[in-house]
Amino acid sequence: MADQQSAGSGDLAEFGYKQELNRRLSTVDLLIYGLVFMVPIAPWAIYGTVFNEAKGMVPLVYIIGLVAMIFTALSYAQMSRAFPIAGSVYSYVGRGIHPKLGFIAGWTILLDYLLVPTLLYVFAAESMSGIFPVLPKFVWIVVFLVINTLINYIGISFTAVVNRLFLAAELIFIVIFVIMAVVAIAHGLDGATFTTKPVFNPDQFSLPLVGTALSIAVLSFLGFDGIATLSEESKGGHRSAGIAMILGLFLVATFFISQTWLAGMLIPDTTSFPEDKAGNAFFDIVARVSSHGWQVAFLAMNALAVGIANAVAAQSATSRLLFSMSRDGQLPRFLAHINAKNKVPERAILLVGAITLVLGLFFVGQIGLISSLVNFGALTSFLLLHLSVIIYFGVRRRSANVVLHWVVPIIGFCIIGFVLWNAEPAAKIGGIVWLIIGLLVLVYYSRRGIGILPEHSANVAAQDPDGAAQDKE
């Protein structure tokens, strides 16, 4: 452990930092964290809505999403190797292009990271209200938030244990559903039959559907990028975060596609779900092939996975982003305080909890609006991420790897740009307002003469033309 801490401290010293967080996470821990963040059972809560939007081809949505997001994951992997520090896209853009543009990237992804826990609590409250309709939804938001803040506060090792337990529980429920579905299809229950129509139905397919699928899929796969925020707590080397991001993306896509394909085969004669039934469509399918008891169990698992496991991961990523930005003086420096015992950014964790509580109570019942705003923040930062790969590797270092440092980020930029251009007007308006606030914050700190990044790390690209930081392994 001492050697791992020492090696990590050496990496950070190159960028003007010292090791403060607890470097305890293996590559497997990062992978589990990413899977929990993306939620292998995520399709359960939105199956009916996606089914209606995609004309029944829900697996196709996730296939398209995987193809779209792999380009962004590859860009993340390249930058995480070059800059193995907390802060994710904020750090990559700030060092790959310019510190002030890095602030903009961090500010936009902050919109995503602040609203993702809110979205999760609202989802979880909806599920729990289906089990306990007597209790108001805001009660569940408070309960989940208190539990998650405590888990994050105890420390990253305890958080990793919680992640493993919840991932195991989710995988058990996936196996249970697969067994139920296969048995029902084998017996032709209610007309259930093997078919490829849920994956691709030529009679219903159209190009506009691809655009719709992209906007849905981007939100579903958000979370793999959060792995990069734990770089300073990883003991797996420079490649660890990149490996976890790409492998996690493929694994969770496999879970998404298999579950929704089976669900589609269980309802061969269904063309759409009534609006008031879409939210519980998947759980109604479970009841159809098993019992009401299993339906309640799946509802409870969904609520706990989203309200605790997924939200713990989201709060953890958000607090690390706040820590990284405040450490560089881009946000109030008191947020960079590390608890001496637990080695966590305690003030950032508590602030995220407080903000999430306010937003959660305000946005109860407004899942659509939150989702749109989350997408805007993530997509804008992803655009800057792809630019950082091109400028840092392609232009500054004159990389000979044309595929990874030119082709991949250009394709990724075009895909993300297309989705962002077709975002809902409300998301664009809200996102632009958030961006304007961020610009005002940037002007404020710039006029006060506060350094955006430590001087050494801000100029690391110029000082390290041969990529020593990346190629040490």
Reported as a single tens digit per residue, the pLDDT across 98-128 is 999 999 999 998 888 888 878 778 878 877 8
**pLDDT band with cut points at 50, 70 and 90 for residue 214:** confident
Mean pLDDT of 442-471: 53
Q: Which one is predicted more confidently, 262 or 216?
A: 262
**pLDDT band with cut points at 50, 70 and 90 for residue 462:** very low
Nearest to 174 by CA among 284, 254, 247, 246: 254
Question: Per mean pLDDT, which of 42-51, 196-205, 223-232, 254-263 is the most reliable?
Answer: 254-263
Mean pLDDT of 427-448: 87
Mean pLDDT of 266-284: 89
In the predicted structure, residue 168 carries a pLDDT above the cut 90: yes
Mean pLDDT of 36-47: 90
pLDDT of residue 457: 43
Mean pLDDT of 446-467: 50
DSSP state of 135: S
Mean pLDDT of 219-231: 84
CB 386 within 8 A of CB 416: yes
Which string of b and e fits 117-151 if b means at least 16 CB within 10 Å? Answer: bbbbbbbbbbbbbbeeeeeebeebbebbbebbbeb
In the predicted structure, residue 147 carries a pLDDT above the cut 90: yes
In the predicted structure, residue 473 carries a pLDDT above the cut 80: no
In this predicted model, what pLDDT tens digit does every residue of 344-403 receive, in sequence order?
Answer: 999 999 999 998 888 887 776 666 667 777 778 888 999 999 999 999 999 999 999 999
pLDDT of residue 370: 73
**pLDDT band with cut points at 50, 70 and 90 for residue 85:** confident
Averaged pLDDT score across all residues of the chain: 85
pLDDT of residue 456: 40
CB 316 within 8 A of CB 307: no
42: helix, coil or strand?
coil
Q: Which of 3-7, 69-73, 114-118, 423-427 has the lowest mean pLDDT?
A: 3-7
Could you give the CA distance from residue 458 to residue 442 in angstroms, rounded to a whole number?
Answer: 16
Could you give the CA distance from residue 360 to residue 316 in angstroms, rounded to a whole number?
Answer: 17
In the predicted structure, residue 464 carries a pLDDT above the cut 50: no
In the predicted structure, residue 82 carries a pLDDT above the cut 80: yes
pLDDT of residue 21: 81
Task: Output the pTM of the full model.
Answer: 0.86
In the predicted structure, residue 73 carries a pLDDT above the cut 60: yes
**pLDDT band with cut points at 50, 70 and 90 for residue 468:** very low
pLDDT of residue 244: 94
**pLDDT band with cut points at 50, 70 and 90 for residue 460:** very low
25: helix, coil or strand?
strand
* CATH pick for 22-456 out of 3.40.1160.10, 1.10.3720.10, 1.20.1740.10, 1.10.645.10: 1.20.1740.10
Which string of b and e fits 343-364 if b means at least 16 CB within 10 Å? Answer: bbbbbbbebbbebbbebbeebb
pLDDT of residue 156: 85
**Which residue in the block uniquely carries the two structure tokens 């990496």?**
11
pLDDT of residue 449: 61
CB 387 within 8 A of CB 409: yes
DSSP state of 4: H
The total of other beta-carbon atoms located within 10 Å of residue 369's CB is 16
Length of the chain: 473
In the predicted structure, residue 194 carries a pLDDT above the cut 90: yes
Q: Which one is predicted more confidently, 218 or 88?
A: 88
Name residues whose C-beta falls within 8 Å of residue 413's C-beta, 6 or more positions apart in sequence: 383, 386, 387
Mean pLDDT of 267-296: 91
pLDDT of residue 281: 94
Nearest to 453 by CA among 34, 98, 33: 98
Mean pLDDT of 430-455: 78
Distances (CA, A) of 256 to 217, 259, 286, 393, 437: 10, 6, 16, 33, 36
pLDDT of residue 455: 43
Mean pLDDT of 177-197: 94
Nearest to 368 by CA among 61, 36, 123, 69: 123
Mean pLDDT of 421-436: 86
The total of other beta-carbon atoms located within 10 Å of residue 199's CB is 17
Q: Which of 202-216, 282-296, 371-385 has the lowest mean pLDDT?
A: 202-216
pLDDT of residue 450: 56
**Could you give the percent of the chain with pLDDT greater than 70?**
90
Q: Which one is predicted more confidently, 287 or 2?
A: 287
Name residues whose C-beta falls within 8 Å of residue 196's C-beta, 6 or more positions apart in sequence: none
